[in-house]
Structure formats: C-alpha cells, structure tokens
Chain A
Amino acid sequence: MIPDPWAAVLNAVIYLLLAPVVGGLIAGIDRKITARMQGRVGPPLLQPFYDVGKLFEKENLVVTTTQNFYVLSYLVFMAVSGALFFSGGDMLLVIFAFTLSHIFLVLGAYAAFSPYSHVGAERELIQIIAYEPMIIITAAGMYMVTKSFYVSDIMQSAVPVVLYLPGVFIGYLIVLTIKLRKSPFDLSTSHHAHQELVKGVTTDFAGPNLAKIEIAHWYEYVFLLGVVYLFFGFNPLLAIAAIIIAYFLEILIDNTTSRAKWQLTMRSAWLVAGTLGIINLGVLYYLRMVVVP
C-alpha cells in the first residue's frame, strides 16, 4: 500500500527537523555514559551541539573544493534516506539512498591526497561491504513476515515481527555496532580520541565540513534506531524499551572491547548474515510453504 501523501510529507518534515536534535542528544548521552563507564565525569549533555557549533565557526580548510560537494551530498542523501524511511517509503529505496550517501563520504575521503584519508576511505568501504548483506536480509525478512516493503505497512502490521525474525534481529544488532562506529568494529573512524590512523575517513575534513559529517551521523542514528523500532512495531512501548536496551548494549560493547582487524570485522559480519540471517529466512520460508501453506 502506498502511504497517504500528506501524512508522508508531514512525517518526512518532522524527521528532517527533529532528527538532528534527537541524534545530537543521543550522542551526548552516549558520551556521558561512556565517560561514567571509564570512571570520568564526562562532558555536558549538550556537548555534541557545542562541538558542531564550534566547527561552523572555524575556517573551512579543504585540500580540493570537490570535498565540499561530496560532504554535502553525504549529508543530503543521509537525510533523504531517513526522510524516505519515516515517511513510510519503500525499504529497498531507503537502503539504496543510505548506501549511496556512504559512497559519497568515501569519495570525499579519496578526493584528498593524504594516505591517512585513503586508508580511512578503504576501511569505510570494507565496512560497507561487511554490513550491507545483513541490512538487505533485514528488509527481505520484513517483507516475508509482513508481505510489504513499505515501512508504513511494516510499522502498522499487528504481526510481532521480532518473533518471526529473532536471528535477523540479532544479526541487525551486530551490524549496528559497525554502523554506529563502535568498538570492536570502528575501523574507519571512531569517536574516541587517538584510536586510529590520525582520524581515519574524516582526517581531511575540517571545520564546517566536519560539522556536516557530524550532523549526518545524527540523522543516521535516528534512522538506524528507527529500524530497530520496526521489529517491535506491534507494541510502541516495547519498541522504545528495545531501542534503549540495544543502544546501551552498544555502548557497553564499545567500552569493553578493543578494535578488531578488518578481516575479523568482515568475517563476523558475513558469518552473522550467512548463518543467523539466512537460516532465519530459510526456516520462515519452510514454515510458510510447508507447515502453514
């Protein structure tokens, strides 16, 4: 079913306006909890907003001006994919826009000449290759359960999606670690100081460009947690609780593990997609076709 156009536009606008606020707050809470786990007081809750405000006050130092274009495209496509998602659009189109936005980030990092930026870009590509299968399996699984790729249908369906897709849900949580740039899978860049080669994929972005990347991350946070919501669409309260628990687990994993090599990242992400994801879909198919036709 195609969603009601007015409601869709309204939802998209609400997302575009509110997601940076919510995403920034999530980042702030994340930093606070991380600091407490390390026995520190930690920065103020609004620190991510101060950081971005400051970055806009700085000089926009670029190696080549094409970087500006790529960073802006990254931000725009990230916002578009989230807006498509929250307006109840087609999951496959959302995933397509989401991947495209990351490709722009990689291109931006390749546009600069520094070897650190290039290594960061390569690692970002590896991450994309690692998490992409699981994301697509997630969309496929939701289609098998609810018979629709439209987010609006999945959201409204009374079927307890997570009970049909437990393997896919766990698999999604594992690739979420990659997507949120959390240890042990924060290969391309991390939010912790001094963990990677200079600053990985963001090495050659300064000032306003870095601020745009940060805002794109906030949009991304909200979108990714929105996918967690879909698994629990039948019960909004449960869904919110699941999001909070999932995010807390991510912070805990981030603070208790050290970074893995790219081989391990790739292998674990694909292993998860190949076992939990595919087996889950296989069982579902079997049940649908053979047991309850």
Chain B
Amino acid sequence: MSYLSKSPWIIHYDASSCNGCDIEVLAALTPVYDVERFGIINTGNPKHADIFLVTGSVNEQNREILKNTYDQIPDPKVVVAVGICASTGGIFRECYNVMGGIDKVIPVDVWVPGCAARPEAIIDGVVKALGILEEKRKARKRPAGDRA
C-alpha cells in the first residue's frame, strides 16, 4: 500500500493566467471544498511538492521559471495543466509572446478543461493525477536509479 496517494502536496504556479483559474484553485482550499480532507496540502515549496498545478499559458518570460520549478520537485511527480490556457494557450494563443500550452516546456500528465476550470474539475484532475503518481512510484521502484 502506498502513502503517496494519501498525502499529495501541491505546488501551484501561475504561468500567465488571467487569474480566473488561480481563484478557482484557491477556492478548492476553502471550507466548502476543503481538499485537506484528502491529505492535500498547498505548499509554496517545490521541494516538498508531489503535484505541480499550473494555470495559464507559458510565455518567453516564464518558461525558465516553469522549467526550474519542475526540476526542483523530487521524483515521483506529476503535472496538472489547469484550464484551457495551460492546456493549449487558450485565448492568448495568438499573442506574440505566448508559446502555447505548458506542454511546450514540461511534460504534462493531466489536462483539466474549462475557462475557468471549476473547483470540482480541478479536484477531479488531482485525483486522476494520484493514479498516475502511483504508477510512477512503481516504475521508479523497479529499475535502480532511473532518474531523468
């Protein structure tokens, strides 16, 4: 039995979102949804995190930050792209400085649809991510030292 899925800690990064999705992410922490029921904690520290929640599209300014934050999360880890912007670039796709969805920079495991993504959808996405996290843990166990 794995403890990983019982205690997923999240780090949330706002790439270049309109703030709509961010507010919905934070709404999941309020007493109405209270994600701590599932052991989920919103940490500000990538080194303590298991799940990387990203809102907004990636642009030339923040691609480095996004990549750096991702690299600082210890394995096993999963990435959840929250909202259309994070998935594909959304309505900002055509902007001169926008590269598109965050999968242009880091590997994404779960895409959460919506503009803005609803808190229920975000929690759903995180629960999906837990399954993937568990698979990654098992994969990490088998071959010794397969760190990317």
Contact = CB atoms under 8 A, between A and B. Distances in A.
B42 A42 contact: no
A10 B6 CA distance: 35
Nearest to B75: A59
Interface stretch (B15-23, B44-52, B115-123): B44-52
A283 interface: no
B147 interface: yes
A264 interface: no
A50 interface: yes
Given A40-B34, A57-B4, A206 B39 contact: no
B92 to A, nearest CB: 27
Nearest to A35: B36
A267 interface: no
Contact of A203 (B6, B41, B47): B47
Given A198-B45, A199-B45, A206-B47, A53 B3 contact: yes
Contacts of B75: 58-59
A43 B39 contact: yes
A47 interface: yes
Contacts of A38: 31
A57 B34 contact: no
Contacts of A35: 34, 36
B7 A206 contact: no
B93 interface: no
B31 A51 contact: no
B43 A193 contact: yes
Contacts of B41: 193
A60 B76 CA distance: 11
Interface in A35-49: 35, 38-44, 47
Contact of A204 (B31, B47, B76): B47
Contacts of A198: 44-45
Nearest to A63: B47
A51 B7 contact: yes
Interface in B57-91: 72, 74-76
B34 A42 contact: yes
B7 A47 contact: yes
A119 to B, nearest CB: 13
Contact of B37 (A41, A56, A61): A41
Given A40-B36, A41-B34, A50 B47 contact: no
Given A43-B39, A59-B147, A199-B43, A54 B3 contact: yes
A9 interface: no
With a 10 A CB-CB cut-off, give which of A54, A60, A194, A206 has the most chain B CB atoms. A54
B69 to A, nearest CB: 12
A206 B44 contact: no
Contacts of B4: 54, 57-58
A226 interface: no
B7 A207 contact: no
A270 interface: no
Contacts of B72: 61
Contacts of B43: 193-194, 199
A205 interface: yes
A107 B129 CA distance: 36
A193 B39 contact: no
A28 to B, nearest CB: 11
Given A50-B39, A54-B6, 7 more contacts: A50-B3, A53-B7, A57-B76, A59-B74, A199-B44, A202-B48, A203-B47
Closest 9 CB pairs of A and B: A53-B3, A59-B74, A54-B3, A50-B6, A206-B47, A61-B74, A199-B45, A54-B7, A40-B34
29 contacts: A39-B31, A40-B34, A41-B34, A41-B37, A42-B36, A43-B36, A43-B37, A43-B38, A43-B39, A44-B39, A50-B3, A51-B7, A51-B39, A54-B6, A54-B7, A57-B3, A58-B75, A59-B76, A61-B47, A61-B74, A193-B42, A193-B43, A203-B45, A203-B47, A204-B47, A205-B47, A206-B48, A206-B74, A207-B74
